[in-house]
Amino acid sequence: MNYQETTSYLFEALPMFHRIGPAAYKANLDNTYALMKLLNNPHQKIKCIHIAGTNGKGSTSNMLASILQEAGYKTGLYTSPHLKDFRERVRVNGEMANENWIADFVTHYKNDFDKIQPSFFEMTTAMAFAYFDAMQTDINIIETGLGGRLDSTNVINPIVSIITNIGYDHMNLLGDTLPKIAGEKAGIIKHNTPVIISECQSDIATIFEKKASELNAPILFADQQWEIHHEIKSVFDESMHVSAINHQTKSTITFNCQLTGPYQIKNIAGVLACIEKLNKHDYSISNLNIHDGMQNIKRNTGFKGRWYKLQENPLVMCDTAHNKDGLQQVLPLIRNYSNGNVRIVLGMVDDKDIASVLPLFPTNAQYYFCKADIPRGLDANILKEKANAFHLNGNAYTSVQDALNNAIKDSSPNDLIFVGGSTFTVAEIID
């Protein structure tokens, strides 16, 4: 198979959660272990940092990868979903996985894969581990897909585990309360392995403490050790100045961060705590590496989609936040925009708790409802009807691009257009 035939096989033949939803979810690790055995256990040969959480794990992963690259380490990065190109999921030093390698890999093992019948994510995870092993990386940042305990990535034995923010998402699979969801995320905690909790959430902190105690895993709540301050002239600037104070060492580090949403301060605390752990584990990462890594995230890793500026005049911003907790962090950034009108291009998937997120959106904006081109996408007219019940008014359009084109056509140079509601909505218009 060539590369195009390979990706067609991956997308069409394997169950893909981000396209078809829960039907693609496998509630055990049997397939993953079968794939690892087939591939001669690459997960046991690579050094990893494992990251789980509801929101923030993608940003955390890319921050860490950028810093480690600046420190001179050959760094693998496994994240999901991709926006434009399947290979975005698997990178080494920011470079997407090689097309020929992927095609050869899948062609060689296709008959075995057909026998195992993995999901798309199980298959991609196995491929990522094999690729990092083949590329002889120094360290790899591994982001979970769903949950943690039963996530395909949870076969690794990492140097450090990180758990970011816990919020309500995928409740039909992970549980309908924060403690249940936290329990699933806590499943990545390993015996005698340090775990960093980026944000201490009082109602679930004991979940992590109990699990860490059972496994003799040193636990650190990063925001209790690191005090993060940020300065930014405008929330639409493309970097923010950060001052981070370490209460334990009484030291301070300052840098500019390319990921500018104020919610990033929670992720930054976890990143800095992780760097400390790595420096105690025979890695050598300087403050200059942190400074340069935070300043060059997009260049180093190709990260896009989080509070990302698409154009000026009119100003077009997008964000892949798609659950209540994520949108609660993003929407205040546009709610008080006063330079002009606010226009929102909104597309969502049909298995989300839409009734809990629509009330978060501003009622004084003009809406352009759309459907991303995936089976899970919610019909634009149905979304419009549901949104109208919360006094969110506008028209439905045939595609995300059509909605954005109309929003731009209707705008004056001072207006703000926000594109969001789903990763897939953003994927269709990001460059």
% pLDDT > 70, the chain: 95
User: How many alpha carbons fall within 13 Å on the CB side of residue 235?
Assistant: 20
Tokens of residue 293, six digits: 């890594």
Q: Which of 20-24, 25-29, 46-50 has the highest mean pLDDT?
A: 46-50
Q: Give pLDDT, residue 175.
A: 62
Question: Where does the pLDDT of residue 350 fall: very low under 50, low under 70, confident under 90, or very high at 90 and above?
Answer: confident
Instruction: Check whether 397 has a pLDDT greater than 50.
Output: yes
Contact between residue 144 and residue 164 where contact means Cβ atoms under 8 Å apart: no
What are 215-241's pLDDT values in tens digits?
Answer: 999 999 999 999 999 998 888 888 999
Tokens of residue 259, six digits: 């990921």
DSSP run (H or E) holding 292: helix 287-295
For residue 337, give Cα distances in angstroms to 162, 234, 365.
Answer: 34, 11, 10
d(CA 269, CA 394): 39
Residue corresponding to tokens 């439905």: 396
Q: Give pLDDT, residue 17.
A: 41
DSSP structural state of residue 379: P
Could you give the residue ranges of the DSSP H alpha helices within 14-155?
17-20, 30-38, 57-70, 99-116, 120-135
Residue corresponding to tokens 């434009």: 84
Lowest mean pLDDT among 3-7, 49-53, 58-62, 351-355: 351-355
Tokens of residue 288, six digits: 């200059």
Lowest mean pLDDT among 14-28, 185-199, 207-221, 321-335: 14-28
Characterize the bridge pairing of strands 240-246 and 251-257.
Answer: antiparallel
d(CA 345, CA 385): 15
What are 171-184's pLDDT values in tens digits?
Answer: 555 766 888 999 99
Q: Give pLDDT, residue 147.
A: 79
Instruction: Check whether 143 has a pLDDT greater than 60.
Output: yes
For residue 277, give Cα distances in angstroms to 46, 72, 195.
Answer: 18, 17, 10
Characterize the bridge pairing of strands 226-231 and 240-246.
Answer: antiparallel
Lowest mean pLDDT among 35-49, 202-216, 240-254, 321-335: 321-335
The CATH code belonging to domain 308-427 is: 3.90.190.20
Which is higher by pLDDT, 214 or 147?
214
Instruction: Check whether 101 has a pLDDT greater than 50.
Output: yes
Q: Give pLDDT, residue 172.
A: 55
Q: Give pLDDT, residue 325.
A: 84
Q: Give pLDDT, residue 369.
A: 98
Question: What angle is formed at CA 62 by the lines to CA 260 and CA 276, rounded to 5 degrees?
Answer: 95
Residue corresponding to tokens 């330079």: 339
Q: Say if residue 392 is exposed, middle or buried (CB neighbours under 10 Å; 0-12, 13-18, 19+).
A: buried
Average pLDDT, the chain: 92
d(CA 58, CA 231): 22
The domain ranges of the chain are 3-301, 308-427
Which is higher by pLDDT, 80 or 18?
80
Report DSSP letters for 243-280, one per residue.
EEEETTTTEEEEEEES---TTHHHHHHHHHHHHHHHHT
Instruction: Check whether 268 has a pLDDT greater than 80.
Output: yes
d(CA 91, CA 94): 5
The fold of the 3-301 domain, in CATH, is: UDP-N-acetylmuramoyl-L-alanine:D-glutamate ligase (3.40.1190)
Q: Give pLDDT, residue 15.
A: 59
Instruction: Give the distance from CA 125 to its chain's centroid.
Output: 15
Do you know the residue count of the chain?
431
Tell me the average pLDDT across 141-161: 94
Tokens of residue 281, six digits: 């584990």
Instruction: Check whether 18 has a pLDDT greater than 50.
Output: no
